[in-house]
Structure formats: structure tokens, C-alpha cells
Amino acid sequence: MQSLDRFEEILGIKFKNEAFLREALTHRSYLNEHPHWEWGQNERLEYLGDAVLELSASRFLFDVFPEFPEGRLTGLRAALVNYRMLSKVASEISLDVFLFMSKGEAKDSDKAKEIIMANAIEAVIGAIYLDQGYDTADAFVKKFVMTHLNEVLDAGLEKDPKSRLQEIVQEQEKVTPTYRVLKEEGPDHKRTFYVGVFFGDRMIEKGVGSSKQEAETNAAENAIQVLEQAQ
């Protein structure tokens, strides 16, 4: 059985009950290949960790920026806790090395793996909360997630990507971007949406998310990157 000591060293946390951590690192696909696996999959911990992460990030931004209105605080939080940023955090702490998932999922598309990694980060936060309490989970969020705040501010990532894209495209091509759902996957309580962003009849990029709105936002972010690279 894989030792998680090294991962605990990276986190700077020694779990009292390692079962919480093992469950947080178990993707549901792994159970299909290992039906006798002793621990459950991580979606319940992901649900809990998502709430802890949002509260921690909200309080941090509320304290750091007393002059910011609610709208800008919301934009900053969204930029810090979206799946792309969380997958980046996952990479920084080598979470992929320790995650239990099927061989098929491991070979999936980059975007699908980013979502898996982001969800696992939330599950780890949930596990820390259950094992160590809110203060330790809050410290983890500050150490590994909120340290990206300056990056978000410098790049203006807190601005709504759909609005930014619309401004760019209307100026350059005199059209308004439209969004179409390309496909949906997963159970009703945990859907994954794939959306395309179109300039007229031309699809420029795709996006993915746990809601149509999140997938549209991701598609807009990807389209902005395409336009910036073309300049």
C-alpha cells in the first residue's frame, strides 16, 4: 500500500486519522478497478471541502480588502477557487502522484484531469477539516491557495471572462460571442457540462464546468487565451 507520509510532509500536516486522507485521495473510478478497496471515494469530502474553502477565501478577502465592494470580492474569490486555479495548486503539491484513480482516468484529457485534481484538492480540505478542525483547514487554504492572490490581481483574472471576451470580440470582429452546450456527462447531482463559444457560426474554443455558467466562463477564458496568443 502506498505510503502517504511524503504527502503529509508536503502539506505540513500529520493526520490523526489517515482514513480521512485516503478517502480524500480516492477517485470514484479507482473503486471500479479495486472493488475491495477499504476506503470510500472522495465526493462527500469534496462537498464539505468546497464549503470550507469558500468560507476561508471569503473571510480572507473580506479582511484584506475592506474597501472592495461585494462584487469585486466575489470576482476575486471565483478566480482563486475555480477548477483551473485549484488544479494548479494540486500540481504544486504533487497531488497527482498520490491520487488513487483508474488507469483510464489517468489517461483522460487535460481538462478532465484538471477537474479531477481540483475536486481532490477540495476533498483534501474537507479531510483536513474533519481531522484537524477549521483553523488548520483555513491555514492550508491561506498557504496554498491564497498565495495566488497577487497573480490573480496582476492578470485581472477577477474580471468576468465573458464580459472581457465580449468587449474584445465586439471591438475586433463586431460580433457578440454566443455559447452552446456541446454535451453533458455524469449523474444528475453531479453533472459536467461542455460548452463551445462561437463567433457567429465559428466555434473558437470549448469550456468545461460543473454548471453551464461555469463551463461558459471557462470557454470564455480559453477563447481569451487564443486571441491573446494570436496577437
Catalytically active residues are: 50, 122
N-to-C CA span, the chain: 50
* Of 55, 190, 194, nearest in space to 119 by CA: 190
CA 74 to chain centre: 16
Q: 70 Cβ partners below 8 Å, 6+ apart? A: none
Report the side by side order of strands in the sheet with 202-209: 178-185, 192-199, 202-209
DSSP E strand stretches across 105-191: 178-185
